[in-house]
C-alpha cells in the first residue's frame, strides 16, 4: 500500500531527495531548498445499534461505523529566498502533492525599517486542485490573505500601530458550507514594553465579510483586544481578553451576537525545582435573539497543576474542570455539563533542535439533563506536538490529537484521531 502511494506522488518530489546535498555556503545564506514526505490521517469512529442499519433480522447486536476523512501520503518541495541577511524580505514558495490533490502556496514577508518606525507587509496565496477522482464542491479553490502594519515609535518603551488586512476564498463550485467570500478590516493599537521582557498590548478592530452568493452571511465585526505578558518575582504570567460584536446583514437580526473571552495563565516557582501553574479560560456568547438554533452559553475551564523542572524539560500534573452553561430553546435542550479530570503535561525545548509538547487529560463529563443526542461519558484526550532534528539537514515534525469517549451505553462510544507528520530535508 505504501509503495503504491509513493508511485502516485509527482516524480519531481522524489527527484528532490535523490539529488539532495549540501549547497555552497554563499548560496545557503540566500536560498534554501526543502524536499519532504508527509502523512496526514483523520478518522472518526462511533458505535450504534446495528438493528437501525441492518434490520430487525440481524443477528449482530452492535456495529462499529468508521469514516476516514483523510488518509494521504504527500510530497513537498519548497524554496525560500532571503535577499538580505537581516531577513527584511522573506519569500517562500511551496508545492505539495498527494495521490488526489496538489497545492501551491506563495508566502511573502517584508519588514522595512523607516527610520525609527517600521512597515511590515505579509501576504499568502494558495491554490488547491483535485488531480484524480471525482471533484465535489470544496475540492478546488484558491484563497489569499494580506496584511500591512505600520508601527510608529513614540518613546523607548511605547509604540503606536495601525493595521489593514484582507482575505478571500474562491471555490470552483459552491455549496451550503463552501461559499466564496471576501473580508477586509482595520485595527489600531499601542504596545508598551516593561522591563525584564514584559509587555502589554491594547487594540481596537473592525472586520467586514461579504458573501457573493448569500447576503445573509455578510457581517460587520468590531471590538477590542488586550494582552499582557510578564515576569514576577517567582514566575511569569500571560493574560488575554477580547470583546467582539458581530452584526449579520439578515433582516431579522438572526445570528447577531456579543462575544467575550478571557484567558489567564500564571506560573509560580515554589522552591527549585518545583512550580505551580494556574489556568483560567472563560468565554461567553450572547445572541440578540436566543432562538432555536442560537443558544446563549458560557464556558469556563480551570486547571491547577504542580510540576517539576529538570534541565530543558518540565512535567506538570493536577486537576482540571470545565463548566458549560447553555440556555434552552423551544426545540433544543440545554447541554449544561460539568467535566472533572486529571491533566498531565510534558514539555521539552532545547537549542539543539528538539521540541516536544505532550498533554493527556483523563476525566468524566456529566450532563445536568441527559438528552436524546448526548449522554454522560468518560473520556481520554491526548495531544502531541514535536519537532526533531534527526541529522544536520533532516528534520521530523509531527502533530497528533485524539479524543476517546466511553458512554454508559456502549453503542454511544466514539473516538476521533488526527495525525500529521512531515519529514523534510534541507539543502
- The three-point CA angle 104-105-109 to 5° equals 160
Q: Which is higher by pLDDT, 357 or 334?
A: 357
User: What DSSP character marks residue 53?
Assistant: H
Can you tell me the distance from the alpha carbon of 251 to that of 256, in angstroms, rounded to the nearest whole number?
11
Domain 2-426: assigned CATH number: 2.40.160
Q: Are 141 and 153 in contact (CB under 8 A)?
A: no
Give the pLDDT score at 247: 93
> What are the backbone dihedrals phi and psi of residue 26, each rounded to the nearest 5 degrees, phi first?
-65, -40
- pLDDT range class, residue 290, cuts 50, 70, 90: low
Q: Is the pLDDT of residue 15 over 60?
A: no
Task: Please name the residue that has the C-alpha cell 519569500.
Answer: 91
The confidence band for 5, taking pLDDT boundaries of 50, 70 and 90, is very low
* pLDDT tens digit sequence for 18-69: 333 333 333 445 888 999 999 999 898 876 543 333 333 333 334 456 677 7
Of the candidates 149, 100, 150, the one whose C-alpha atom is nearest the C-alpha of residue 128 is: 100
The mean pLDDT of 360-386, rounded to a whole number, is 90
Tell me the longest C-alpha to C-alpha distance in the chain: 81
d(CA 386, CA 358): 8
Q: How far apart are CA 338 and CA 302, in angstroms?
A: 12
Does the structure show a pLDDT above 90 at 161?
A: yes
Residue 108 has pLDDT above 70, yes or no: yes
Task: Give the list of residues 6+ apart from residue 155 with CB closer than 8 angstroms, or none.
Answer: none
| Residue with grid cell 502594519, as numbered in its chain | 149
Tell me which DSSP letter residue 216 carries: G
Rounded to 5 degrees, φ, ψ at 217 are -90, -5
Confidence of residue 331 (pLDDT cuts 50, 70, 90): low
Percentage of the chain lying above the pLDDT 70 cut? 86
pLDDT 10s digits, 296-325: 899 999 999 999 999 889 999 999 999 999
Q: What is the 3-state secondary structure (H, E, C) of 92-131?
A: EEEEEECCCEEEEEEEEEEEEEECCEEEEEEEEEEEEEEC
C-alpha grid cell, residue 29: 545564506
Question: How far apart are alpha carbons 308 and 298 in whole angstroms?
Answer: 33
Coil, strand or helix at 413: coil
Backbone angles phi, psi at 351, to 5 degrees: -70, -10
Residue 339 · residue 308 · CB < 8 Å: no
Report the distance separating Cα 210 and Cα 216, nearest Å. 9
Can you tell me the mean pLDDT for 117-135? 93
Write out the H or E segment, with its range, that includes residue 12: helix 11-18
Q: What is the dihedral of CA 74, 92, 358, 44, to 10 degrees?
A: -40
pLDDT of 225 reads 98
Q: What is the pLDDT of residues 249-267, one digit of tens each?
A: 877 777 899 999 999 999 9
CB of 112 closer than 8 Å to CB of 73:
no
State the virtual CA torsion across 287, 291, 292, 295 in degrees, nearest 10: 30
pLDDT above 80 (res 330):
no
Better-predicted residue by pLDDT, 415 or 46? 415
Contact by Cβ (8 Å): 415, 44: yes
Amino acid at each position: 500500500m505504501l509503495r503504491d502511494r509513493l508511485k502516485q506522488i509527482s516524480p519531481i518530489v522524489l527527484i528532490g531527495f535523490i539529488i539532495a546535498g549540501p549547497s555552497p555556503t554563499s548560496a545557503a545564506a540566500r536560498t534554501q531548498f526543502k524536499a519532504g514526505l508527509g502523512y496526514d490521517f483523520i478518522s472518526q469512529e462511533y458505535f450504534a445499534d446495528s438493528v437501525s442499519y441492518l434490520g430487525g433480522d440481524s443477528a449482530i447486536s452492535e456495529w462499529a461505523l468508521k469514516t476516514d476523512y483523510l488518509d494521504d501520503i504527500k510530497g513537498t518541495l519548497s524554496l525560500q529566498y532571503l535577499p538580505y541577511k537581516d531577513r527584511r524580505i522573506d519569500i517562500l514558495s511551496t508545492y505539495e502533492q498527494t495521490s488526489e490533490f496538489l497545492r501551491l502556496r506563495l508566502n511573502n514577508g517584508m519588514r522595512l525599517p523607516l527610520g525609527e518606525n517600521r512597515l511590515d507587509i505579509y501576504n499568502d496565496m494558495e491554490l488547491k486542485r483535485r488531480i484524480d477522482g471525482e471533484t465535489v464542491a470544496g475540492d478546488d479553490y484558491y484563497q489569499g490573505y494580506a496584511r500591512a502594519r505600520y508601527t510608529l515609535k513614540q518613546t523607548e518603551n511605547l509604540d503606536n500601530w495601525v493595521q489593514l488586512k484582507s482575505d478571500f476564498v474562491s471555490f470552483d463550485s459552491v455549496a451550503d458550507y463552501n461559499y466564496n467570500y471576501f473580508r477586509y478590516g482595520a485595527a489600531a493599537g499601542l504596545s508598551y514594553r516593561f522591563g525584564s521582557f514584559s509587555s502589554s498590548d491594547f487594540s481596537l478592530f473592525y472586520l467586514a465579510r461579504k458573501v457573493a452568493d448569500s447576503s445573509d452571511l455578510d457581517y460587520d465585526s468590531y471590538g477590542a483586544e488586550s494582552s499582557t505578558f510578564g515576569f514576577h518575582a517567582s514566575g511569569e504570567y500571560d493574560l488575554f481578553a477580547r470583546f467582539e460584536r458581530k452584526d449579520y446583514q439578515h433582516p431579522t437580526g438572526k445570528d447577531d451576537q456579543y462575544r467575550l473571552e478571557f484567558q489567564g495563565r500564571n506560573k509560580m516557582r515554589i522552591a527549585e525545582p518545583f512550580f505551580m501553574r494556574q489556568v483560567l479560560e472563560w468565554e461567553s456568547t450572547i445572541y440578540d435573539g436566543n432562538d432555536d438554533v442560537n443558544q446563549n452559553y458560557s464556558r469556563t475551564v480551570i486547571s491547577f497543576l504542580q510540576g517539576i523542572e529538570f534541565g530543558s524539560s518540565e512535567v506538570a500534573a493536577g486537576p482540571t474542570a470545565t463548566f458549560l452553561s447553555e440556555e434552552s430553546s423551544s426545540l433544543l435542550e440545554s447541554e449544561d455539563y460539568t467535566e472533572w479530570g486529571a491533566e498531565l503535561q510534558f514539555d521539552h525545548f532545547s537549542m539543539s533542535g528538539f521540541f516536544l509538547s505532550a498533554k493527556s487529560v483523563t476525566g468524566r463529563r456529566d450532563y445536568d439533563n441527559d438528552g436524546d443526542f448526548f449522554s454522560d461519558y468518560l473520556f481520554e484526550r491526548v495531544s502531541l506536538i514535536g519537532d526533531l532534528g534527526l541529522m544536520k539537514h533532516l528534520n521530523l515534525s509531527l502533530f497528533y490529537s485524539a479524543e476517546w469517549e466511553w458512554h454508559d451505553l456502549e453503542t454511544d462510544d466514539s473516538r476521533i484521531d488526527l495525525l500529521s507528520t512531515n519529514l523534510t530535508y534541507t539543502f
